[in-house]
Amino acid sequence: MNIVISGLGIIGGSFAKALKKYTDHYITGLNRSPKPLNDALECGAIDEIGTPDSLKKADLLILGTFPQAAVEFVEKNAHLIPQNCIVADTSGIKSEICPRMTELSKQYGFTFVGCHPMAGKEKNGFSASDADLFCGASCILIPGSASFEAVDKVAKLADKIGFGQIVYSTPEEHDRMIAFTSQLPHAIACSYVLSPVCKKHKGFSAGSYRDVSRVAHINEKLWTELFMENKQPLIEEMDILINNLNDIKNALQTGDRDELEKLLAKSRQVKEGLGE
Amino acid sequence: MNIVISGLGIIGGSFAKALKKYTDHYITGLNRSPKPLNDALECGAIDEIGTPDSLKKADLLILGTFPQAAVEFVEKNAHLIPQNCIVADTSGIKSEICPRMTELSKQYGFTFVGCHPMAGKEKNGFSASDADLFCGASCILIPGSASFEAVDKVAKLADKIGFGQIVYSTPEEHDRMIAFTSQLPHAIACSYVLSPVCKKHKGFSAGSYRDVSRVAHINEKLWTELFMENKQPLIEEMDILINNLNDIKNALQTGDRDELEKLLAKSRQVKEGLGE
């Protein structure tokens, strides 16, 4: 296949590296700024630095950019995308992206498959990309109106480059789950490190601090976009969390040991029930 | 030295294993139930299963039990502890423990050094103990009224069994910091996994979920005690966190992108400022 990757940040770059490591497909890179393109060409992550015209021969287009930038890229270049081409985004939000992409796909004839690789790091950019970033990770696919054949092609490719499982979902279910599994932990981490005590943590901290604060090393532009475009599910999850924190706080304040122990036991049971 | 360890759970057991691995001291184990003692003797983590009378020849007594149980053990057995013996607890709270222990030490003549090894796992018991649990971890010491010589002896031993750094503190500073670095993350993890969505997370989650939920696999009896005995600092930290979460939520609700981006950037800067 001729695969074009637009946006060689950590995700697009990791797709490029993984595809070169695990498959024989021909990879063309597109990027707003030249440095990641040159770096990618030099280290063999792409075969060629492309132009929008490269899209004309693409069998698969992977969008590695931020959600809105991905939509804008397709809006601008849809007329160059062949009808037999599959377009896959990599956005962390779907309800705001998939309907518009499906609309464009119907208008121009290509196939759109929503895709969210559940992998990342607290670092960004092509320099943080890694051929094995996806190893064992979950790849969420939003088939929407795509044919079984097209979705299966993306799934098989995901499997080949190391993903551990493929999960099929809808934009709504995806966004509801991601609000909890990904966005809420980022909101927690950012809220956590703003305690005035944080700056003095060294020597007094261990794994608990490290784990809960890790993703506070955040790309604020990307996550502002992700949070804003998944506002309702995230607000709902934040409310649930704040209520649960208040339950613990109230048990503390009233000195109700039994209630506190019961709350903590409930949490342990959830983790145990999940085999974690 | 003759070292007696009372309580062979994950912490006491790890001290036993580390002492046998990295030093030549003679280790005697005490425990309420016999199984950890037999396991420890069998795997060479202790040289002998002791009785309270073993305390009579102890140079160092390490208390691996829960905080209140540690105090009760010393109250009950103080008359057996020699005057030249150093007693070190391993509790995660200090304001409730150190003053009483210091009182007992003055009454009976032994030396008390507060100690909090900043290491642990989300599993408990002797079976989870590990000779290298403390490798690179921070060992917080609360010298209180102990002599320099006694504190230094404990510090040198901590260094020898793998701790990466020794931090000296007061009960108040310790408890204030630990509320943030350790107890708050546990309260967060427990609050987090109680979202009704949690049980369906598989396939939709990655590192963020794993990290923030890890310590929800909690020992509710131990942590109820730790939370209750550090009530005020923990409530203070919970209030700060909830306020910060509400700031993010308000920015979301009012659609204030600039404010949200500013909040997230502030968090990133804290992490970067710490070199993390």
Q: What is the pLDDT of residues B191-240, one digit of tens each?
A: 999 999 999 999 999 999 999 999 999 999 999 999 999 999 999 999 99
pLDDT at B188: 98
Are the beta carbons of A191 and B249 separated by less than 8 Å?
Answer: no
What is the residue-averaged pLDDT of chain B?
A: 97
B7 — pLDDT class (breaks 50, 70, 90): very high
Chain centre distance of CA A50: 24
Mutate to test the interface with B, among A138, A223, A264 (most CBs of B within 10 A): A264
- Binding-face residues of B in 138-157 toward A, CB within 8 A: 138, 140
pLDDT at A259: 98
User: What is the least distance, in Å, from the CA of A57 to any CA of chain B?
Assistant: 33
Paired residues of B76 in beta bridges: none
- Is A107 within 8 Å of A78 (Cβ atoms)? yes
B122 — pLDDT class (breaks 50, 70, 90): confident
d(CA A105, CA A101) in angstroms, rounded, equals 6
pLDDT at B264: 98
pTM: 0.90
- Binding-face residues of A in 168-207 toward B, CB within 8 A: 169, 174, 176-182, 184-207
Q: What is the pLDDT of residues A118-175, one digit of tens each?
A: 998 878 899 999 999 999 999 999 999 999 999 999 999 999 999 999 999 999 999 9
The first and second tokens of residue B40, run together, are 């420890």
- Is A101 within 8 Å of A90 (Cβ atoms)? no
pLDDT at B158: 98
Are the beta carbons of A192 and B189 separated by less than 8 Å?
Answer: no
pLDDT at A150: 97
Q: Is the ipTM of this complex over 0.85?
A: yes
- Binding-face residues of A in 248-267 toward B, CB within 8 A: 248-249, 252-253, 255, 257, 260-261, 263-267
Q: What is the pLDDT of residues B141-182, one digit of tens each?
A: 999 999 999 999 999 999 999 999 999 999 999 999 999 999
DSSP chain A: -EEEEE--SHHHHHHHHHHHHH---EEEEE-SSHHHHHHHHHTTS-SEE--GGGGGG-SEEEE-S-HHHHHHHHHHHGGGS-TT-EEEE--S--TTTHHHHHHHHHHH--EEEEEEE----S--SGGG--TTTTTT-EEEEE-TT--HHHHHHHHHHHHHTT-SEEEE--HHHHHHHHIIIIIHHHHHHHHHTTSTTGGG-TTS--HHHHHHHGGGS--HHHHHHHHHTTHHHHHHHHHHHHHHHHHHHHHHHTT-HHHHHHHHHHHHHHHHHTT-
d(CA A231, CA A235) in angstroms, rounded, equals 6
Are the beta carbons of A190 and B218 separated by less than 8 Å?
Answer: no
pLDDT at B103: 97
pLDDT at B199: 96
B120 — pLDDT class (breaks 50, 70, 90): confident
Where chain A has pLDDT below 70, the residues are none
pLDDT at A15: 98
Q: What is the pLDDT of residues B233-261, one digit of tens each?
A: 999 999 999 999 999 999 999 999 999 99
